[in-house]
Structure 1
C-alpha cells in the first residue's frame, strides 16, 4: 500500500506530498492543471521511462519517491531481498531521480539499483491503468498472468512447473551426452585413470594426519622412552627395572606413607579426611602411571618408519592433485564417477535416458492437462463476471471472452514453461461488433473501464476463495486508474464510482477523475491546482499545487466539478452527493 508520494521539480509541480487513503483516493482538478504529473511520478518509481523534458524549467533534476507499507512475507519484500534490500519497520522506499541532462538514478531502500529492479519490486506493489500502461494487457503473456492470478490454479501451476523443470533438465542432459566429441572422451579417460589411481591407494579421511603423528613419535622414540622412564621413576619406581643396589622412592609410595602416617593419629580432627584425599590422589596417580607404562612397551623400528614415509608420500600425491585434504580427494572421486557415467555416452545409456525422458514428458503433459482445465474454468467465470460489470459501466452490449486453446501435437512447441495453452482476451465493445484482441478494440476510457471490470471480477473471485472475505491475497496492491471516466456521465458515473469504491475494500485505489460522481465515493480527495505566473515575475512560470481537501473545501471542489461554480445550488448538490456516497459506501 502506498503511504506517501513525494514529488519535487516534476513539470509544473515544484514540491508536493500526497498521503493517499488506504481505501479510495480521488485526484481532481481542472483540465491541464497537471494531474498527469502525478501519474508520471508513479510511473517513474515503477521503473518507467525517464523523460528529461519533464524536469521543471530551471531545475537541475526531478525527484519522486514512494513509501510503501510492505509485510515481511510479501512478494515485493522477497524481490527486494534478492536485490540486497530488506523491509525496515514494515516500509519500503522506492525513489527515482531524473537529471535535466537526461540521466536517471533508481534507488530502493536507500540503495542504488538498476531500473529493472525497481520495476520488478513495483510490479508487486502498483498496477497502473493509464492510456499507455494498460496496453500491456494486450500481450498474451500478461493475459495469461492475469488469468492465473484470478484463478485458483496455484496447485496445478506449481505441479506443472515442477514437471517442466524435470523434463528440461533431462533434455539438457541428453543434449550434453549426444554432443560429446573427442574432448569429452579424453576427459572420461582422464577421470577413469584418476579414479583408478585413488582407488588403488585407497585413502581414508584423516589418514595422512594420523600417520604423520605416528611418524613423529617414531622419530622421537628415544626422547619419549627417556622422558617416560624418568616420569615413572619419579611417580612409581616399581614400574622400572633398576639395579638392586639402587633404592628410590616414588611419589606414589610417598603419598601412601603420608596417608598411613595420618591414619596413625588417634586424636580427633580432620586427619582421617586428609588421609582419604591423599589415597584418592594416589589412585589418580596410578592411572597416570598405567598410561605411561604402556609406552615403555612400544617398539618403533626402522622398517616401520620406512613404511610410514612411503604411505605418507602416496597420500601427499593424492592431496596435491585432488586435495587439499583426503576428504576432498574422496569427494572428487565420487563426483568423477558420476561424471564418467554421463561422459561414456554409450548407446545403452542414451536409450535408458530417452525412455526416462518419455516418462517425464508424459507427466508434464498430464500436469498441463490439469492446468488447462483449471484455466478454462477460471476463464469462463472471469469472462462472465466482467461482462456483467461492463453493463453497469456505460458499456451496454460489451462483452469479454477469454479463450483458452490447448496446443496439440507431440512437437516441442506443444508445451512451454507456462503450460500448453494459448490464452487470448477477446473484447466486443458493442453489440454486433466483431471480437477483437484486447487492447486493439477499445478507446482509452473503454479500456480503463474494462480493466476496472477485470480487477473487480478478479477480486470477487479471490474473495470467494478466501475465508477472510474482505481481504484477498493481493490486498497490498495499489491500483491507479486514469481516464476511467472518459465518456461517462449520469447514472453510469455513479456506478463507476461505486465499483471503484468496491475494489477499494480489498485494495488501495487511486483514481484521476473529472467526475464529481466518482470523486464523491473516495475516502480522501486531493486537488491539483494551477497557479498562473505573477505578473511581476514571469520567470517563475506556472506553478501547480496539490492539496488535500476536507469538509467545506471538499464540498466546494465537488460543487466546482458539478457545475464549474460554487453557487448555492451546486453546493447543496455537492453535499447531497457526498452524503449519498458515504451512505452507500458500505453496500
Structure 2
C-alpha cells in the first residue's frame, strides 16, 4: 500500500506531500492545474521513462519518493532483498531523481539500484490505469495472467507447470542422446577405455599405502633383522634361536626385584619395586612386538610383484588421482556418465517412452487448466459487461476468449485474448485498439471489480497474484485511475464513484477526477491548485481538504462557484456518498 508520495521540482510543482488513504483517495483541481504531475511522479518511482524537460524551471533536478508498506507482500520483499536492500519496519522507500541534464538515479531504501528493480517492484505494488499505462494489458501474457488471477486456478497452473518441467527434462535428455556427435562418441570411447584400464588393475582403497610399507620392510629386511636381533639379545636373548646366553635386561630387572623383595622388615623399597615391575612389563611388551616383527619378516614375499603392483596403482593415480580413493570415485562417476552417453536403440526407446509419458501427463494437465480458464472466462465476461452497463457504456461489449493451441508452452496450451466492442456494429477488436482513454479506464475498473469480487468469493481478501494456492492473505493492491470519468456525467458519474468506492473496500484506490460525484465517495481528497509566489511565479500546490474546505471544493466542482445552493448540494452529495 502507498503510504506517502513526495515530489520536488516536478513541472509546476515545487513541493508536494500526499498521504493517500487506505481506501479511496481523490485528486481534484481545475483543468491544467497539474494533476497529471502526481501520476508522472508515480510513473517515475515505478521505473518509467525519465524526461529532463519535466524538471521545474530553474531547478537542478526533479525528485520523487514513494513509501510503500510491504509487510503482507513477500514478493516485493524478495525483490528488495535480491537487490541488497533490507526491509525496515515493513516499509520500502523508493525514490528517483532526474537531473536537468544527465542520467536519472534510482534509490531503494538508501541503496542505488537499476531502474529494472523499480519496474519489478511496481509490478507487485501498484497498478496505474492511465491511457499510456493501459497499453500493457494489450499483451497476451498480461491478459492470461489477469484471467488466471481472476480464475484462482493456482492449483491447476502449478500442476501444469510441474508436468511441463518434467516433460521438458525428458525431452532434453532424449535430445542430448539422440544428437550425440563425434565428440560425444569420442568421450564414450575414452570412458570405456579408462574404465577397462581401472577395472583391469582393480584397485582397493588403502592398498597403495600398505604396499609401500611392505616394500620398505622387504628392501630393508637385513637391516631390520639385524636391529631386531641386537635389541632382543639385549632385552631377552631367549627369544633368539641361536642364543648362547639367556641373561638380558628382562632377566636383570627380575633379579633386581627379587633382591629388593628379599630385604625384610622395611618398606623403603616398595616404590622402587613397583617402578621396576612396571619397567619389566613394558620391556615384555616391547619384546613381544619385536618377536612378532621377526615372524613377519620371515614371511616370503615377491618384491618384484609388489613393485609392479605399486607401479600400476601409481599409473592410475597419475591419470585419475591424485589419490587412489579419487581413482575409485572417478571410476564410479565415469560409469554413470557412460550410461547417459549410451546411444543404443534400447536406451533411446526407454527415453522416448519416458518423454511420451511425460507429454501425456502435460496434455492432461493442460486440459484441466483449459477447462477452468474457459469457464472462468465466461464468468469474467458476464461480470465485466454487467459493470459496463452501469458506467455509461451500456452498448459496449467485453469478451474474454480462451482458445486451445496446437502447441503447448510454459504457461499452458491456451491463447487468451480480451476483445472489446465499444458500440454495436463496431466489430470485435483487441483490447487497447478499440477504446478511448476514458472507455479503457472504465473497462479496467470493471475488470478490477470483477477480480476483487472473485478474490472475495475465494476468501482471499484483497490479495492479488496469479496463484495463491496456499490460501494466505496477500498484498493489498494499489490502483490508480486516470481519465476514468472522461465522458461521464449525471447518474453514471455517481455509479462510477460508487464502484470505485466498492473497489476501495478491498484495495487502495487513487483516482484523478474532475467530477464531484466521483470525488464525494473518497475517504480522502487532495486539491491541486495554481498560485503565485512572492516573485510572481506561477506554481502548483497540493493540499488535503477536509471539513468545510472539502465542501467548498465539491461545490466548485459542481457549479464552478461557492454559492449557497452549490454548498448545500455539496453537503448533500458528501452525505449521500456512502456504501
TM-score interval, smaller chain: 0.7 to 0.9
**Pair 102,333 (structure 1): closer, same or farther in 2 beyond 3 Å:** farther
Higher Cα Rg, which structure: 2
CA contact 2:72–2:476 (8 Å) conserved in 1: no
CA contact 1:427–1:437 (8 Å) conserved in 2: yes
Query: In the TM superposition, what is the alpha-carbon distance from 1:486 to its structure 2 partner?
Result: 0.9
CA contact 1:5–1:64 (8 Å) conserved in 2: yes
Secondary structure at 2:15 match in 1: strand
Alignment match, 2:573: 577
Alignment of 1:556 onto 2:552? yes
Separation in 1, partners of 2:518, 2:5:
22
CA contact 2:482–2:512 (8 Å) conserved in 1: yes
Alignment match, 1:270: none
Separation in 1, partners of 2:494, 2:106:
39
Separation in 2, partners of 1:560, 1:444:
25
Alignment match, 1:57: 57
Unaligned runs of 5+ in 1: 256-263, 266-277, 409-413
Deviations 1:293-352 (A, max 9, x none): 668635468969988877666556555544556565455444433332343423333233
Alignment match, 2:75: 75
Alignment of 1:443 onto 2:436? yes
Higher mean displacement: 40-49 or 439-448: 40-49
The 5-angstrom pairing of residues 370-409 of structure 1 reads 370-408=368-406
The 5-angstrom pairing of residues 350-361 of structure 1 reads 350-361=348-359
Secondary structure at 1:574 match in 2: helix
**Pair 355,23 (structure 1): closer, same or farther in 2 beyond 3 Å:** same
Deviations 1:108-150 (A, max 9, x none): 3433333223212220111111101112111111111110111
Query: In the TM superposition, what is the alpha-carbon distance from 1:67 to its structure 2 partner?
Result: 1.9
Separation in 2, partners of 1:220, 1:4:
88
Separation in 2, partners of 1:361, 1:355:
10
Alignment match, 1:425: 418
Separation in 1, partners of 2:526, 2:252:
99
Separation in 2, partners of 1:542, 1:98:
22
Query: In the TM superposition, what is the alpha-carbon distance from 1:374 to its structure 2 partner?
Result: 0.6
Alignment of 1:297 onto 2:292? yes
What TM-score, normalized to structure 2?
Answer: 0.82
Secondary structure at 1:58 match in 2: coil
Separation in 2, partners of 1:511, 1:576:
21
CA contact 1:225–1:295 (8 Å) conserved in 2: no
Query: In the TM superposition, what is the alpha-carbon distance from 1:228 to its structure 2 partner?
Result: 13
Separation in 2, partners of 1:99, 1:362:
57
Separation in 2, partners of 1:352, 1:417:
25
Query: In the TM superposition, what is the alpha-carbon distance from 1:376 to its structure 2 partner?
Result: 0.6
Alignment of 1:461 onto 2:475? no
Deviations 1:520-575 (A, max 9, x none): 222222222222355x46xxx43222222222322222222222222333222222
Query: In the TM superposition, what is the alpha-carbon distance from 1:461 to its structure 2 partner?
Result: 0.7
**Pair 296,441 (structure 1): closer, same or farther in 2 beyond 3 Å:** farther
Query: In the TM superposition, what is the alpha-carbon distance from 1:456 to its structure 2 partner?
Result: 0.7
Alignment of 1:190 onto 2:183? no
**Pair 333,6 (structure 1): closer, same or farther in 2 beyond 3 Å:** farther
CA contact 2:250–2:283 (8 Å) conserved in 1: no
Separation in 1, partners of 2:326, 2:392:
73
Alignment match, 1:121: 121
Query: In the TM superposition, what is the alpha-carbon distance from 1:55 to its structure 2 partner?
Result: 2.0
Separation in 2, partners of 1:574, 1:292:
116
Alignment of 1:150 onto 2:146? no
CA contact 1:474–1:507 (8 Å) conserved in 2: no
Alignment match, 1:136: 136
CA RMSD of aligned residues (A): 4.2
The 5-angstrom pairing of residues 86-485 of structure 1 reads 86-203=86-203, 297-298=292-293, 299=296, 317-318=315-316, 320-323=318-321, 329-408=327-406, 414-466=407-459, 474-485=474-485
Separation in 2, partners of 1:208, 1:455:
74
Higher mean displacement: 482-491 or 69-78: 69-78
**Pair 449,176 (structure 1): closer, same or farther in 2 beyond 3 Å:** same
Unaligned runs of 5+ in 2: 258-265, 268-273, 465-472
**Pair 305,341 (structure 1): closer, same or farther in 2 beyond 3 Å:** same
Higher mean displacement: 338-347 or 115-124: 338-347
Higher mean displacement: 290-299 or 486-495: 290-299
CA contact 1:72–1:87 (8 Å) conserved in 2: no
Deviations 1:56-82 (A, max 9, x none): 233332222222111376222233333
Secondary structure at 1:407 match in 2: strand
Query: In the TM superposition, what is the alpha-carbon distance from 1:471 to its structure 2 partner?
Result: 6.0
Deviations 1:152-187 (A, max 9, x none): 211111111122222222332333333322222112
**Pair 489,342 (structure 1): closer, same or farther in 2 beyond 3 Å:** same
**Pair 32,349 (structure 1): closer, same or farther in 2 beyond 3 Å:** same
**Pair 247,459 (structure 1): closer, same or farther in 2 beyond 3 Å:** same
**Pair 171,556 (structure 1): closer, same or farther in 2 beyond 3 Å:** same
CA contact 1:463–1:471 (8 Å) conserved in 2: no
**Pair 2,293 (structure 1): closer, same or farther in 2 beyond 3 Å:** farther
**Pair 213,455 (structure 1): closer, same or farther in 2 beyond 3 Å:** farther
Higher mean displacement: 179-188 or 381-390: 179-188
CA contact 1:51–1:102 (8 Å) conserved in 2: no
Query: In the TM superposition, what is the alpha-carbon distance from 1:506 to its structure 2 partner?
Result: 1.5
**Pair 310,27 (structure 1): closer, same or farther in 2 beyond 3 Å:** farther
Separation in 2, partners of 1:289, 1:121:
81
Separation in 2, partners of 1:579, 1:214:
103
Query: In the TM superposition, what is the alpha-carbon distance from 1:195 to its structure 2 partner?
Result: 2.9
